[in-house]
Amino acid sequence: MIVCAFSLLHWLDLCVKFILSFPKRRKIINPRRITPYPQNLPMKLVRFDTLKGHRGKVWCAKWNSSGTILASCGEDKTIRLWGMTGNGKWKLKTVLQDGHQKTIRDLAWSPCGKYLASASFDGTTAIWDNLGGEFECNAALEGHENEVKSVSWSPNGNLIATCSRDKTVWVWQVENDDYDCAAVLNAHTQDVKKVAWSPSGDLLVSASYDETIKMFKEDPNDGDWTSIGTLKSHSATVWSISFDQTGTRFASCADDGSIKIWRQYLPGNPEGVATVDNDPTWKCVCTLSGYHDGPVYDVDWHPTKNLLATACGDNGLRLFEESDDSNPNEPAFEMVAADYNAHAQDVNCVKWHPTDSGLLVTSGDDEVVCIWQVV
């Protein structure tokens, strides 16, 4: 009897150790807490609207290119489309469902605004179109062996990039409503969290659990996609990436609580930064740390200004502005606005409005989408 009891306890101990050995999706590892938080900042964030309806975490919220439709998705396996009313508030227009069997993690609008791509934990990316007057799911991109974490439509609308927990990045060719796999890129060693295109569309960038950022380009001679660089500066999972309007800089955010600014240096640059094989070199020129009390899950560069918005696991929303006299090789950013309780739980996504320069949206684990005005 004693032997059986001992064996049972030993078995339970092994089970507990096995469960604890799984990598945690999120962790608070930034020890540099700001106490008290700065309050007298030059700009103010005003919550303009709160959109309710999702059940469970809201992972993503994004406007179409004209800013007339807002799409949100989440744990409840639905996509909600919101439109602006006469009083400036946003109202639910329709709910897209039955396109996925599991959580919808990310969304991407086509540049023309007629198509919406949704990436899901069920391993597929669905393509929705409103060619018939209302959105319908008319295609599913299959091939990833695990959860699809991010989807991004190229600026010209001819390519779609997806990435997955299976450590791969896929590039899809779009032609006449047909979607064919053009490349499977195996550059990362861990879960890939984000994919993003440069504004010119000639560069594809991915962020990963392996703490790196990878850069990919298509060879114009044979059409093959290859990795042309690996950027390493973060000390934990890199969650998101956002280019500035010129495409010569981008911001990255990570589980280490920091924001990093990367700059492109062309061959023969006056700064003397070395380049290889006639390709540009990307260099980290600025690190913003100590501002967040947890992982930074998303960052978005303003479409026309040198403003960054961040979404954090400490429930906060923050804005950073580049100084007017900033040195391009050592840019200086300062925090200019913050709402430290933007959501009741983790803030998962932040996105600037494409045409209204003072409007942005966030979504969080607290099941809501929030519209913000910068004043």
Look at residue 93 in the predicted model and tell me its pLDDT.
95
What average pLDDT does this structure show over 225-239?
97
Percent of the chain with pLDDT over 90: 84
Q: What pLDDT sits at residue 8?
A: 53
Q: What is the pTM of this model?
A: 0.90
pLDDT category at 133 given cuts 50, 70, 90 is confident
Burial 178-197 (b: 16+ CB within 10 A, else e): ebeebbebebbeebbbbbbb
Q: How does DSSP assign 1-36, residue by residue?
A: -HHHHHHHHHHHHHHHHHHHTSPPS---------SS
pLDDT, mean over the chain: 91
- Indicate if the pLDDT at residue 104 is higher than 60: yes
Query: Is it the case that residue 132 has pLDDT exceeding 80?
Result: no
pLDDT at 36: 64
pLDDT higher than 50, residue 340: yes
DSSP string, 167-221: S-EEEEEEETTEEEEEEEE---SS-EEEEEE-TTSS-EEEEETTS-EEEEEE-TT
Cα separation, 331 vs 345, in Å, equals 32
Rounded CA-CA distance 339/360 in Å is 13
Q: What is the pLDDT at residue 38?
A: 77
CA 74, chain centre distance (Å) = 14
Compute the chain's Rg from CA coordinates. Answer: 21
CATH architecture, range 35-374: 7 Propeller (2.130)
CB-based contacts of 361, cutoff 8 Å, min separation 6: 61, 62, 63, 70, 349, 350, 351, 353, 369, 370, 371, 372
Report pLDDT for 37: 75
pLDDT in tens, 58-90: 999 999 999 999 999 999 999 999 999 888 899
Give residue 7's pLDDT: 53
Structure tokens that stand for 195 in this block: 């994919």
Residue 338: both structure tokens together: 């913050």
What type of residue is 289?
Answer: S
Q: Is the pLDDT of residue 149 over 90?
A: yes
Distance CA(111)–CA(372), nearest Å, equals 24
**What is the rounded CA–CA span in Å between residue 307 and residue 333?**
9
Q: In this predicted model, what pLDDT tens digit does every residue of 241-278 receive, in sequence order?
A: 999 999 999 999 999 999 999 999 999 999 999 999 88
Q: What pLDDT was estimated at residue 1?
A: 45
What integer pLDDT is reported at residue 20 of this predicted model? 39
The C-alpha atoms of residue 361 and residue 225 are separated, in whole angstroms, by 34
Tens digits of residue pLDDT in 164-205: 999 999 999 999 889 999 999 999 999 999 999 999 999 999
Q: Cα–Cα distance between 301 and 249 in angstroms, integer?
A: 10
**Of 130, 221, 139, which is closest to residue 180 (Cα–Cα)?**
139
Check residue 15 and give its pLDDT: 52
* CA-to-CA dists, residue 69 to 63, 65, 117, 139, 242, angstroms: 6, 9, 14, 21, 21
How far from 48 is each of 51, 300, 373, CA to CA, in Å? Answer: 10, 19, 6
Q: How far apart are CA 28 and CA 316, in angstroms?
A: 14
- In DSSP terms, which residues pair with 371 in a beta bridge? 49, 361
The sign of the torsion formed by the CA atoms of 52, 55, 59, 64 equals negative
Q: Is residue 320 predicted with pLDDT exceeding 90? A: yes
pLDDT, position 11: 55
Mind listing the pLDDT tens digit for each residue in 16-64?
444 433 444 444 444 445 456 777 899 999 999 999 999 999 999 999 9
